[in-house]
Structure 1
Amino acid sequence: MTAVLAGTVALAAAGCGSDTTGTEAETPAKPTFAAGTTAARLAEAGKVTVGTKFDQPLFGLKGLGGDVEGFDVEIAKIIADGLGIDPDDITFVETPSAQREGAIQQSRVDFIVATYTINDKRKQLISFAGPYYQAGQDIMVKKDNTTITGPESLRATNAKVCSVSGSTPAEKIKEYADASNIVLFDVYSKCADALRTGQVDAVTTDNVVLLGLVDASGGAFKIVGKPFTTEPYGIGIKKGDTAFCQFIDEQLTAAAADGRYAKAWESTAGKVAGAAPALPTLATCS
């Protein structure tokens, strides 16, 4: 048990000895945390601002009614619940790939859950809790495309390929496609539109993100099915906030143990991707 959770266990007995009649439900005690920690500040405020994607079906998608839904959203709710914060008190802010580090550094969000691959470059600017999921980069094409069969076929077919500025996939695809044939937008929905209208021949990002775009395409797109990277998704937090990292990792571990993690997957990405994966081995907080 980490320092951030000091005193939490004692709360379990908070109602003991009270004169209850059995007709009134006891109000669960709110968790407490070590003074001065991020968790203590957020728990005291009773609200939290979370960065996520608004354009990625199954992980982070803002509907016409204004609600955001997806696996990343459910993971954020699990973390907020550990702080004693209700879902209605979470403010979700759109954080496209190129804006994520800045949003954390400028305190525009308290943490980010947004298909956010952990890598050394980003770790120079922020810290990560997790990972909570492991994906792999793949390629999406029109359903009738038979010439693009994997990353190695992009240069050979002179294919125009789309990805998102500031993303790991946008960097990786430079190994397989000429710079003049790489088209970058700020969100993946624009890549999907470009593929639909024939402005590009392929879209590349993590396979689970593509899976959502394929599902939303009504049968117009397909995934090549040749993942060529390993992408561990982490939760972005302020650089060096070890205590908050440890708190988040504890929430992920507890959710995996009691079934909430699997339920979060099954109610979102699992509707298309199938059975819930195991929670990946968590990295050391630093």
Structure 2
Amino acid sequence: MKLRKVTAAAAAALVLSLTATACGGDDGNGDAGSDSTAGGGGTIKVGIKYDQPGLGLKEAGGEFSGFDVDVATYVAKELGYEPDKIEFVEAKSADRETMLARGDVQFIAATYSITDERKQKVDFAGPYLLAHQDLLTKADSDITEATDLNGKKLCSVTGSTSAQNVKDEIAPKAQLRSYGTYSECIAGLQSGAVDAVTTDDSILAGFAAQEQYKGQFKLAGLKLSNENYGIGVKKGDTETVNKINAALEKMVSDGAWDTAVKENFGPANYKNEPAPKIGDIKS
């Protein structure tokens, strides 16, 4: 496995987690299976995004950084896995449910909004962050409201509900463009292939703050929806959900959650909501 960047938030998780929560034996010779959260020598596979600055990013040197990475590292530690026993796996939006059902990963922390439809296929711990759907446009764009998207090309990623929600509820004449990753959407916005990108404000802020994009884009500042980020777990694995919820509560209470927010979103002046309570889903 590649070495990962250890941020202050992740370091704090290691120091503050004096006792790891293990849930069974492990002979130390193999990976934890899809229905096990036992630590003690095995490894754990965790799904994250690879292309979302400030949330889940695989950097050029193979390191991983972002808020979701810090949350996943803290949770895995509480489940009994040291950072060098974590294998991060790319979890694209369209693949998340399948990955969990097949047991490809133990859990997914990848800007995974909790919805009724998704809860039919997977179980969720959390939420651990409340974000809001917004729009990202070029700095000189005349798009200031969602209704301005009628007749415009709107980009989001395959498997995401953001763009379809806008078309269905606000701008029926918007022309949807689905790309494989948000990086492709941002490249399309920069080139003029699309007029706007829509997804969560936390994701958009991360891209807008990148050095190569500074001054080129702007957030519309709209709160088009509430996006309750949860940690996805295989359907029926209630034991793991409960353990992850306990870890998230501890992360908030010991201050590691606030540290992670400041480190990963602070440079973009992202105005985050307070840490949500477990099970409190904002509609």
Q: Normalising by structure 2, what TM-score?
A: 0.84
Q: Give the match for residue 5 of structure 1.
A: none
Q: Distance in 2 between matches of 1:140 and 1:254?
A: 34
Instruction: Judge conservation of contact 1:266–1:275 (CA < 8 Å) in 2.
Output: no
TM superposition shift of 1:278:
2.6
User: Is residue 218 from structure 1 mapped to residue 218 from structure 2 by the alignment?
Assistant: no
Q: Distance in 1 between matches of 2:222 and 2:90?
A: 29
Q: Give the match for residue 128 of structure 1.
A: 124
Q: Give the match for residue 169 of structure 1.
A: 162
Q: Distance in 2 between matches of 1:278 and 1:272?
A: 17
Partner AA of 1:281 in structure 2? K
After superposition, give the CA deviation of every residue in 1:183-238 in whole Å (9 maximum; x if it has no partner): 00111000000011111110000011010111121211111111210110000001
Q: How many residues align?
A: 254
Q: Normalising by structure 1, what TM-score?
A: 0.83
User: What CA RMSD, in Å, does the superposition of the two structures yield over aligned residues?
Assistant: 2.2
User: Is residue 33 from structure 1 mapped to residue 45 from structure 2 by the alignment?
Assistant: no
Match of 2:147 among 142, 152, 157: 152
Instruction: Judge conservation of contact 2:53–2:206 (CA < 8 Å) in 1.
Output: yes
Q: Distance in 2 between matches of 1:32 and 1:154?
A: 50
Q: Distance in 1 between matches of 2:197 and 2:174?
A: 15
Instruction: Judge conservation of contact 2:137–2:197 (CA < 8 Å) in 1.
Output: yes
Q: Secondary structure at the match of 2:215?
A: coil
Q: Relative to structure 1, is the Cα distance of residues 247 and 201 closer, same or farther in structure 2, using a 3 angstrom cutoff?
A: same
Partner AA of 2:190 in structure 1? R
Matches within 5 A, 1:58-77: 58-77=54-73
Instruction: Judge conservation of contact 2:131–2:273 (CA < 8 Å) in 1.
Output: no
Partner AA of 2:149 in structure 1? L
Q: Relative to structure 1, is the Cα distance of residues 32 and 99 closer, same or farther in structure 2, using a 3 angstrom cutoff?
A: closer
Q: Relative to structure 1, is the Cα distance of residues 274 and 172 closer, same or farther in structure 2, using a 3 angstrom cutoff?
A: closer
Instruction: Judge conservation of contact 1:51–1:114 (CA < 8 Å) in 2.
Output: yes
Instruction: Judge conservation of contact 2:145–2:222 (CA < 8 Å) in 1.
Output: yes
- Bigger-Rg structure (1/2): 1
Q: Secondary structure at the match of 1:183?
A: strand
Q: Distance in 2 between matches of 1:180 and 1:279?
A: 34
Q: Relative to structure 1, is the Cα distance of residues 251 and 213 closer, same or farther in structure 2, using a 3 angstrom cutoff?
A: same
Q: Relative to structure 1, is the Cα distance of residues 41 and 226 closer, same or farther in structure 2, using a 3 angstrom cutoff?
A: closer
Q: Distance in 1 between matches of 2:234 and 2:93?
A: 17
Q: Which moved more, 1:172-181 or 1:239-248?
A: 172-181
Q: Give the match for residue 182 of structure 1.
A: 176
Q: Give the match for residue 7 of structure 2.
A: none
Partner AA of 1:120 in structure 2? D
Q: Relative to structure 1, is the Cα distance of residues 282 and 41 closer, same or farther in structure 2, using a 3 angstrom cutoff?
A: closer
Q: Secondary structure at the match of 1:43?
A: coil
Q: Secondary structure at the match of 2:279?
A: coil
User: Is residue 207 from structure 1 mapped to residue 207 from structure 2 by the alignment?
Assistant: no
Match of 1:86 among 82, 94, 97: 82
Unpaired segments ≥5 residues, structure 1: 1-27
User: Is residue 140 from structure 1 mapped to residue 136 from structure 2 by the alignment?
Assistant: yes
Q: Secondary structure at the match of 2:197?
A: strand
Q: Give the match for residue 115 of structure 1.
A: 111
Unpaired segments ≥5 residues, structure 2: 1-17, 27-32
Q: Distance in 1 between matches of 2:253 and 2:20?
A: 21
Partner AA of 1:189 in structure 2? S
Instruction: Judge conservation of contact 1:266–1:274 (CA < 8 Å) in 2.
Output: no
Identity %: 39
